[in-house]
Structure 1
């Protein structure tokens, strides 16, 4: 098996089969010590590969930029088939109008082009009229072109966002599981794009998820948000720097649309460091909204120093004002607790809310949402605490639904702790 940094290994990752076929001549020349021929052929292969990439963008993705560049190049080549001016136009236009090249790739291609000229064209004022590059220079050029151009997908156009969004919409009902969705995006797109394209994609997705409120975006916001999470996860440090460096752009979020607000609160709560990069006015607005709206406060975990502190804050408000935690807020807090290894704190928080059930209806809802929903993860001590609460709170043990719920609770307990709890200690726990 080849090492992943060997030329032979990289050759297998060349994007186009035709390019790989042409490249075999480059590799053959290099292996036989014909470094001048290898350089000349390498440049020709790169030019062909760039044309292939533009053709795919034009034909498969209807990329207007790629189509325009191809048209210009073809016209120049038609004017003079022997004049290589069109090659210069091709490279220049790609540099200026697409994201196919990173800065280093562009410099490496310029260097290869100069080496190709020296290798292919006689220098009249030197004894050795044709320059012969050494092995190290030839190898460096080959590796640079493999890494920077030949092995990369053409999905680096500045128009990529349209193609990307259309694809998201087409698969949103098929790739329900996050793990499948992530594999799909990484395989088809994210593993094939360079950093400038990833940065541009992140910037665009942020706008669609957290700012735009047109009908089409609203209908597909969830799948776009999922894509944003997958992309952000790939290089959080880099995207954090991008956000911090363009605070005014990323702070321009829509806090008046309820759906958008829910997504931005979730994102900041999962990644609280991102919230630190927002303009201070954002924090003031969120705090003001949270004072008037429990749901917003419950989902604004990033406003607290720790998740445990957040539980204390919202628990106090829920009990004091006799309010209930929304399903969406509860699910977010569960997700965060699971991610941070704080499930016990989350479950204790729910048990405390159950304890303060103040009516039969409230007790019915609390028992279902806070206890039965998470019945398979409570500890034995937590189950005992729940039994104590039921026994002590008449709103829990006198309601019509009590026996049915108590039976469900007992089944959950016995599945995991069979025979370990003495129910006779709780006379009002009737089954």
Structure 2
């Protein structure tokens, strides 16, 4: 139990009523009243289950939670003096919602048995009342907190719909992957059961890569970002799920937007490409061949970054110049991080040198050369200047005096004398 604090955990109990009731548990434990702590702990658990079901019914329109509450009340009404409805509630919460894992259900059943022994005399025993140890009481408190009290109420199938609706409504504020990650981790993911997390991933996969409805089109990017965040949390169980349901997860597309989103996703999670079947591969490969941006993202088709960049370098400058600005920045950053910045920079040089007009050179400098300037070294800077010096559409354009002064400054900082490149120098 090292490192676990009952008091710190108690402050994070989701429902304020359960949090207030738990104070009695904590005080009993602190005062060595372990029997009282166990009895009250079970009471808090029962109350918290009811509160969660009420929240699901009232706040999230969960019909299943409402029906379960009706069934529990009917059970209690039949025999109001019997506590049997409490264990019935526990068993049905496990059976009919996703709040509890199987192991948590068993552990809470054990808590109920300890509560019974602690509260009722056993005439056949040497001691009429059972007295739990400090260690056992602490363990039961920790179980109750982790299995139930620290969890938010949205642990039924409604959580998928609630999460998707929530992030869609707030996407104007969740403007970065970092903000989105912080938001869903704070609001949805604390103590989330693995089964629910996989259920959310399964649903988001369908929304991102299969459905072609107005709402899924409008929210595809934020759903995609959420899916990427969740898959990065526990990649091994995700891959095992996809491997075990290969046909289901391979049923993607055929809409262009859905397949493009899948290529983008696989660029971040390349290991999952092999988990899809050949039918999905055909659709994915078709989109890669049809769009240079998909080809740039499709690192999962290459052995490593060096191989990926070598493949891109074989494409024409006309094709490469169709790479979107943000896609280029992502590629450049990834290449530098993996030790292949020079190869990426040379692609930028090829794009710029291949400009067919002044206007094209203006755009290509801003999009490809300017972001890459901090990444140039002495060798690649020399290659850039050599290309510029023989390409009038680069050195002779109106903006060259401004744009190329940036190159000159970067070259000078590298110790390269730019005056030997006559056309380059003349037009600055």
TM-score, normalised via structure 2 length: 0.89
Q: Which residue of 2 aligns with 1:181?
A: 180
Gaps of 5+ in 1: none
Q: Please give the alpha-carbon distance, in whole angstroms, between the structure 2 residues aligned to 1:375 and 1:212.
A: 41
1:311-326 residue pairs with structure 2 within 5 A? 311-318=309-316, 324-326=321-323
Change in Cα spacing, 1:259 to 1:424, as seen in structure 2 (3 Å) is: same
Determine which of 408, 423, 426 is the counterpart of 1:428.
423
1:365-380 residue pairs with structure 2 within 5 A? 365-380=363-378
Residue by residue, what CA displacement relative to the aligned partner does 1:308-349 show, whole Å, maximum 9, x if unpaired?
A: 212222221325x86643316535523533554543331122
Q: Which residue of 1 aligns with 2:198?
A: 199
Change in Cα spacing, 1:169 to 1:295, as seen in structure 2 (3 Å) is: closer
1:401-420 residue pairs with structure 2 within 5 A? 402-414=397-409, 417=412, 420=415
Change in Cα spacing, 1:322 to 1:57, as seen in structure 2 (3 Å) is: closer
Deviates more, 1:78-87 or 1:110-119: 78-87
Change in Cα spacing, 1:413 to 1:271, as seen in structure 2 (3 Å) is: farther
Gaps of 5+ in 2: none
Residue by residue, what CA displacement relative to the aligned partner does 1:387-424 show, whole Å, maximum 9, x if unpaired?
A: 210112344345xxx24134212135427846954333
The offset of 1:117, in angstroms, is 1.9
1:214-253 residue pairs with structure 2 within 5 A? 214-253=213-252
The offset of 1:167, in angstroms, is 0.7
Q: Please give the alpha-carbon distance, in whole angstroms, between the structure 1 residues aligned to 2:304 and 2:321.
A: 22
Residue by residue, what CA displacement relative to the aligned partner does 1:165-194 show, whole Å, maximum 9, x if unpaired?
A: 111111101121322222111111122422
Change in Cα spacing, 1:291 to 1:181, as seen in structure 2 (3 Å) is: closer
| Root mean square deviation of aligned Cα | 2.7
Q: Please give the alpha-carbon distance, in whole angstroms, between the structure 1 residues aligned to 2:26 and 2:290.
A: 69
Q: Which residue of 2 aligns with 1:273?
A: 271
Residue by residue, what CA displacement relative to the aligned partner does 1:235-282 show, whole Å, maximum 9, x if unpaired?
A: 22332222223222222221x322222211111122211112122333
Task: Give the SS at the match of 2:165.
Answer: helix
Q: Which residue of 2 aligns with 1:54?
A: 53
Change in Cα spacing, 1:231 to 1:131, as seen in structure 2 (3 Å) is: same
Change in Cα spacing, 1:62 to 1:4, as seen in structure 2 (3 Å) is: farther
Q: Please give the alpha-carbon distance, in whole angstroms, between the structure 2 residues aligned to 1:26 and 1:295.
A: 58
Q: Please give the alpha-carbon distance, in whole angstroms, between the structure 2 residues aligned to 1:322 and 1:8.
A: 61
